[in-house]
Structure 1
Amino acid sequence: MIMAPAQSLANAQCGQHVELQRMPHELHIRHRGEDWAGITNQKERKKLQNRLNKRVSRQRKRRSDYPSDCSDAASTPSPRSDALMGSTIDSLITTFSYCTKEDVGQKRAMLQRFAEQALLSFMAGDPCADHRLRLIQLNTINGFTRNARALGFGFDWLICEVLSPFGTNEQTPSSATPSSLIPTRMQLSTRHHPWLDLFPFPKLRDNLLLANAIMPPEDEQRLYDDIMESGGSRSEWAGLVVWGEPWDPQSWEISLPFLQRWGWLISDCPEIITSTNYWRNQRGERPIANPNWIEELSD
């Protein structure tokens, strides 16, 4: 945190309220230990600066790659509504790259505003194709949020700085918790972010915890982005899709891009392949065999 020294000192001496401002780089910090301010070791400071610079670069690329507008033949929107819709979609691309307790409510409101705009487009008889990926994202976020409620979380799981109450001995599952969400022994003994508790696949949750312990922060960020934001893709969803009740394993489908990049995480998770194949069959698509799906994807 930084202040203008003279003005800040004067305000403090007068007993006035002093508003602290974030340093620009703090907006992109996702993990403790990533703040280079105050680091005197030149090598370590440079390493942290490079990490944040790469993160900012990826976010800018995603914003430039994704179209921020779409045509509406059914009606002629006002310039103000065009700007609103464009800014909403553009902001969604990096909505969950960094969430603090202070701004998570605003970002959820942004998602709600997008949902309302997409509904208006649909009701006008001219749904925008560019909305499809964002709607999948919205359903995924809402699905995880419902699972968080089913687990009895009294906080917003999107906040980056919170810890799971299961890994800190602060909470035990209630008798009303769906069986698919009951925490494993590893969840109860490992400190972790609560987003890992929200998948209705116990083995996948354990695999994610193990991976989280060995992956560098860049890979962890990439995994989170793929699941929550489709990795910034504008043409194909690269994460998970939820089609029904989020606590039901049969409601989930894993996309092929996710399998190609993160398939090793679903080792010993045949129920995910089963549910994915169910939804692929609904669309008349070829099922994915297990364990030979990797070879099939390259056919």
Structure 2
Amino acid sequence: MAAVRRDLQERLAPVLMIADQQLHLHLHLTTLAPLAPSLPASLKPTALQLRTPHHGYIDLIPSPSLRDRLIGAGTQTASAFLNEVLCAFVYDVEDRGQVIVWGDDHLSEFSWEFSAEALERWGGWVLTDEWRGRAKFWRRQRNAPLLPG
């Protein structure tokens, strides 16, 4: 988990330094845009990311559609999701087991499995059915109990 966090934070360090210093959100946007060519496809900013002020840690999520849903959900919802579900990826805190990254490619959203608790709380409009399907796939791989639904 620490290696994934370190890699993501290194790739987006200029943006995260701004977010950490609580500077103007628009400065975040003008810093993010020039980074786009150097980022892998899963981290390239979306049009919504480039025009909508948002929490810088959203940029660490290697899923353009999830980033857009969090930005569209608003600051309070996005902050709650980051704190409850992705805290181990964005902050140096104990992993709460809300997400597991499988395999060597942490930049593939298919490698990410959200916990049953995260899917229950955030399922539907933030964590869509595709995330539930990925969780079911990974649970089958390790012979874990399948999720309902």
Distance across 1 between alignment mates of 2:112 and 2:25: 23
Match of 1:253? 113
Which of 120, 128, 142 is the aligned partner of 1:283? Answer: 142
TM-superposed deviation, 1:247: 1.1
Cα distance per residue 1:132-176 (max 9 Å; x no partner): xxxxxxx1x54243123334x336468262567785223423434
The count of residues paired between Structure 1 and Structure 2 equals 139
CA distance in 1 between counterparts of 2:27 and 2:127 reads: 22
Structure 1 distance, partners of 2:139, 2:36, is 34
Residue 182 (structure 1) aligned with residue 44 (structure 2): yes
* Pairing 1:24-43 to 2, within 5 Å after superposition: none
Structure 1 unpaired stretches of 5+:
1-138, 289-295
Shift of 1:205: 0.4
The TM-score normalised by the length of structure 1 is 0.39
What is aligned with 2:132? 273
- Cα RMSD between the aligned structures? 3.2
1:145 aligned partner: 6
Structure number with greater CO (CA < 8 Å, separation at least 6) is 2
- 1:216-235 Cα shifts (integer Å, max 9, x gaps): xxx55542321216xxxx9x
Tell me whether 1:223 sits opposite 2:84 in the alignment: no
Secondary structure (helix, strand or coil) at the match of 2:14 reads coil
Q: Is the 8 A contact 1:253 1:276 kept in 2?
A: yes
Q: Aligned in 2, Cα 1:160/1:275: closer, same or farther, shift over 3 Å?
A: farther
Distance 1:240 1:150, change over 3 A: same
Q: TM-score, normalised by structure 2?
A: 0.72
Structure with the bigger percentage of helix: 2
Measure, in 2, the Cα distance between the counterparts of 1:282 and 1:166. 43
Identify the residue that residue 99 of structure 2 maps to in structure 1.
240
CA contact (8 A) 1:167 1:190 kept: no
- 2:72 counterpart SS class: helix
- Note closer, same or farther for the CA distance 1:287–1:163 as it changes in structure 2 (3 Å cut): farther
Q: How does 1:104-143 map to 2 (within 5 A)?
A: 139=1, 142-143=3-4
Structure 2 alignment gaps of length 5 or more: 89-93
